Amino acid sequence: MLRLRITSTAEWKVRSGHPWIFAESIKSQSRSGVMGELAVVYDKWDNFLAIGLFDPYSPLRVRVLHAGKPQTVDEAWWRGRFTDALKLRDGMFDAATTGYRCIHGESDGWPGLVLDRYGDTAVLKLYSAVWFERVELIAKLIQEHLGVPGMVVRLSRNIQKAATSETPTDGAVIFGPPVAGPVLFRENSLIFEADVLKGQKTGFFLDQRENRMKVGELARGRSVLNTFSFSGGFSVYAARGGARSVTDVDISAHALEAAKRNYLHNAATTGKCRHELIKADAFDWLAQARTQFGVVVLDPPSFAKKESDRKSAMDAYARLAGMGIDRVERGGVLVAASCSAHVAWDEFFGLVRSSARKSGRRFSELAVTGHPADHPAKFAEAVYLKCIYLQF
């Protein structure tokens, strides 16, 4: 097996449970190493420290699977790790919610891999090529333990070029019936579609489930503005919650078409609430808007994909919050979310609160929220989702 030694700082991090070893922390290695092979890390006393998956091309050279006592990573080990993730979610969801995350990357011990379930379809998303050779094994574990009839694999853009004729391609059905388009699933009894073949991430933003529920509870009798609406999740909950009207703003026509369909899938509960769809850049639209709303949702994509984007991302979040607050009517609520791991919890809430103070309006803080339980975050860099509720 490939053997590595790493710097003492890296040793300390790995011991404390951090799952990433970067190329620059590797002091020596027994040979060059190939994509996806197991690498064993020894500490400075030559004792076993950790075992992980090796990627010779990524600056993130080893994704740690286990640190502590020596372990043999074989099929039985993977099975244990798979069932551990499922056990964690045992009892979290009933038949009203058939869309949820089964494996959430590093924090479930599967670095660079996500597994979502949408009703009868499992969607495996790979963010690292180290997983290519293990897709068949994962398919077997899904069939054995998750019991869904179909499975699709998705590849993040950065690894699509690493795919070969031997590896699965983005959107490939690994087992089960052919998938022709979006698949349907339930979330808190509402019906949504997930574009599992072509959509962003795995086709839907399951991480916002609890915030959507809260917005549904706040919506009664209010008009709701849903910016960066994607497939309209917040709006469907708001309409069920008794909103007077819901307005989706998104730059993507494709997303708005899905929003329209999601609204119709729930016609029985969204019935009388007016639904408006606006295709626009949310910044431009907010800058010229004059109407105020009872609830304003700001849920943009990540503005900071890397650490160097942090400053400009903070400015963009602040500008957005300022414009969002201007759209909140008296007594209304601003719901501002960030999914950028590079902008910390305190920084994000700090900038939204400061935008609220700058508005000169009286406001009170109703809540802040973080990750739902099916999206655990066990180390600092894994924390990305945060949301704040301010009433004006």
Q: Contact with ligand SAH (CB under 6 A): which of 39, 250, 327, 349?
A: 250
Interaction between residue 252 and ligand SAH (CB under 6 A): yes
Minimum distance from CB of 255 to ligand SAH (Å)?
4
Task: Kindly state whether residue 230 participates in binding ligand SAH, applying the rule CB under 6 A.
Answer: yes
Under the criterion CB under 6 A, does residue 391 sit at the interface with ligand SAH?
no
The window from 26-34, 172-180, 297-305, 343-351 that contacts ligand SAH (CB under 6 A) reads 297-305
Q: Does 276 bind ligand SAH (CB under 6 A)?
A: no
Smallest distance from the beta carbon of 388 to ligand SAH, in angstroms? 15
24, 217, 281, 381: residue in contact with ligand SAH (rule CB under 6 A): 281
Compute the distance between CA of residue 368 and CA of residue 352 in angstroms, rounded to an integer. Answer: 11
Q: In Å, how far from its chain's centre is CA 151?
A: 19
Choice from 53, 151, 224, 282 touching ligand SAH (CB under 6 A) = 282
Backbone torsions φ then ψ of 222, nearest 5 degrees: -110, 160
11 or 193, CB closer to ligand SAH?
193
CB of 241 to ligand SAH, least distance (A): 15
Quick check: 56 and 128 in contact, CB under 8 A? Answer: no
- Under a CB-based contact definition with an 8 Å cutoff, are residues 296 and 333 in contact? yes
Reduced to 3 states, what is the DSSP secondary structure of residue 191?
A: strand
Retrieve residue 245's tokens: 């009207």
Binding residues for ligand SAH, total number by CB under 6 A: 18
Identity of the residue, 18 or 104, whose beta carbon is nearer to ligand SAH in the bound complex:
104
Residue 118 found at the interface with ligand SAH (CB under 6 A): no
Options 13-21, 80-88, 277-285, 320-328: segment touching ligand SAH (CB under 6 A): 277-285
Residue 247 β-bridge partners: 225, 276
Give which of 212, 230, 381 is closest to 307, Cα–Cα.
Answer: 381
Cβ closest to ligand SAH, residue 133 vs residue 326: 326
Q: Does 17 bind ligand SAH (CB under 6 A)?
A: no
> Rounded CA gap, 348 and 387, in Å?
9
The letter for the amino acid at 61 is R
Return d(Cα 126, Cα 115) in angstroms, integer: 9
Question: Closest approach of Cβ 173 to ligand SAH, in Å?
Answer: 24
Query: In the bound complex, what is the minimum distance in angstroms from residue 205's beta carbon to ligand SAH?
Result: 4
- The one segment of 68-76, 100-108, 161-169, 225-233 that binds ligand SAH by CB under 6 A: 225-233
- Tell whether residue 131 is a contact of ligand SAH (CB under 6 A): no
Q: Which of 274, 212, 276, 289 is nearest to 243 (CA)?
A: 274
Binding to ligand SAH by CB under 6 A, coded x per residue (else -) over 28-67, reads ----------------------------------------
What DSSP state is assigned to residue 144?
A: I
Q: What is the rounded CA–CA span in Å between residue 108 and residue 121?
A: 20
**Beta strand 190-194 with 172-175: parallel, antiparallel or unpaired?**
unpaired
Question: Which range of residues in 125-133, 175-183, 251-259, 357-365 is near ligand SAH by CB under 6 A?
Answer: 251-259
Which residue stretch of 21-29, 119-127, 276-284, 355-363 sits at the interface with ligand SAH (rule: CB under 6 A)? 276-284
Instruction: Identify the residue among 299, 327, 351, 384 touching ligand SAH (CB under 6 A).
Output: 299
DSSP letters for 240-267: HTT-SEEEEEES-HHHHHHHHHHHHHTH
Residues numbered 168-197 forming contacts with ligand SAH, rule: CB under 6 A? none
Return the residues of window 194-213 that contact ligand SAH according to CB under 6 A: 205, 208
Question: Does residue 233 touch ligand SAH according to CB under 6 A?
Answer: yes
Determine the Cα–Cα distance for residues 38 and 3; give it in Å rounded to an integer. Answer: 9
Neighbouring residues of 43: CB distance < 8 A, sequence distance ≥ 6? 5, 11, 49
Residue type, 81: R
Judged by DSSP in three states, 30 sits in coil
Q: Give the start-end residues of each E strand in 46-164.
A: 48-54, 60-67, 99-104, 113-118, 121-126, 150-155
Binding interface with ligand SAH (CB under 6 A)? 205, 208, 228-231, 233-234, 250-252, 255, 281-283, 299-301
